[in-house]
Amino acid sequence: MLAFSRRQVLKLVPLDMNSTIEDLLKMLRRLIGENIELNFLPDLGLWKVNADRGQMEQVIVNLCVNARDAMSDGGLLSITTHNVQLDEEYCSQNDWARPGRYVRLDITDSGCGMDPETRAKIFEPFFTTKEQGRGTGLGLATVYGIVRQHEGMIHVYSEVGKGSRFSIYLPTTENAREEIPAEEQVSVPGGHETILLAEDDEPLRFLTTEMLKPAGYRVLVAVDGEDALRLYRDHEKEIDLLLLDVVMPKKGGRCVYDEICAVRPDIPCLFMSGYSENAVHTNFILNQGFKLIQKPFRSNDLLKMLREELDRL
């Protein structure tokens, strides 16, 4: 679990979670499909939280994908926000809670639900109830790590056959230990090049694509290493840069790069990793002098590194 709750550099800003969710709704509806009804019920006058917007977006998308996967026959997905005050008495009866003022984000589905044994394991890295090839089991572990780093809490209620509710508690700006002023958004140049993106985690694959397309890039999307090689063979002359996850099913990012580099040694490449920098795969990439961006990342950071690699030649 340490690799997924590690300290990362956060860009904390006073964040309105209602507007953050509203900005994602169109993308979320595409992601969850037409057989699931998506409702958003915001609490008017919602307090602000100190949070990294990019990481909060990843939390929301991961939880919505998790809810979608629990409703294979369709259903209802509800997102709600609330201002809550947890007092000492409540926290004494709920050992996961800490007193204070929080914004609570609830993501509720009408899916299959979980038994207590499953619920106890869902935040463990690589734990998954999905069939082989349909996920790494890192999505909820990533959510857990992000929430913990924001000094927040996460609580899960679930009943088999009735559905699940994931509740995220984020400290308000009043509770946060260090309030960091909002930074001005720096415009990062985009481009018209074609990027081959290989990422097996669906929420991150979707979010990354949504970062690249508005910047003008054309994106070819692969779900694993073998898919990336197939796409490269089909679009060899069009691809300007490889954006590869380090660890993927079938073939990892380094294997994909090596095979492509054998026929095109000068192709720019940027690796992505959600593992700690001491992990074996990531360490090897860095030691070889390759560029690597740590997940979860912000849009501007990704676009800046891509532009640097594309302009290097």
Q: Which segments of the chain belong to CATH 3.40.50.2300? A: 194-311
- C-alpha distances in angstroms, 201 versus 76, 123, 126, 274, 306? 23, 16, 12, 10, 20
Number of other CB atoms surrounding residue 25 within 10 Å: 13
Q: Which residue has the higher pLDDT, 201 or 222?
A: 222
Residues belonging to the chain = 313
Residue 101 has pLDDT above 50, yes or no: yes
Which structure tokens are listed for 167? Answer: 């509740």
Q: Model-level pTM?
A: 0.77
Q: Which of 8-17, 71-80, 137-146, 164-173 has the lowest mean pLDDT?
A: 137-146
Q: d(Cα 15, Cα 60) in Å, to the nearest integer?
A: 14
R_g of the chain computed on alpha carbons: 20
- Round to whole Å and give the CA distance between 32 and 81: 20
Q: For residues 202-223, give the mean pLDDT.
A: 93
**Range 125-134 average pLDDT:** 53
| Region(s) of the chain under CATH 3.30.565.10 | 2-171
Q: Which amino acid is at 248?
A: M
- Per-residue confidence (pLDDT) for residue 60, from 0 to 100: 96
- Structure tokens, 175: 């509770």
Dump pLDDT digits (tens) for 248-262.
Answer: 888 999 999 999 999
SS3 30: helix
Q: What is the mean pLDDT of residues 269-298?
A: 74
Pick the CATH number of 2-171 from 3.40.50.2000, 3.40.50.300, 3.40.50.2300, 3.30.565.10: 3.30.565.10
Would you place residue 137 in the very low, low, confident or very high pLDDT band (cuts 50, 70, 90)? very low
pLDDT band at 290 (very low <50, low <70, confident <90, very high): confident
Amino acid at the residue 62: N
- The region, left, alpha or beta by phi > 0 then psi within -120 to 50, assigned to residue 210 is alpha
Residue 298 neighbours by CB under 8 Å, 6+ apart: 11, 52, 53, 54
Backbone angles phi, psi at 241, to 5 degrees: -155, 145
Q: What is the architecture, at CATH level 2, of domain 194-311?
A: 3-Layer(aba) Sandwich (3.40)
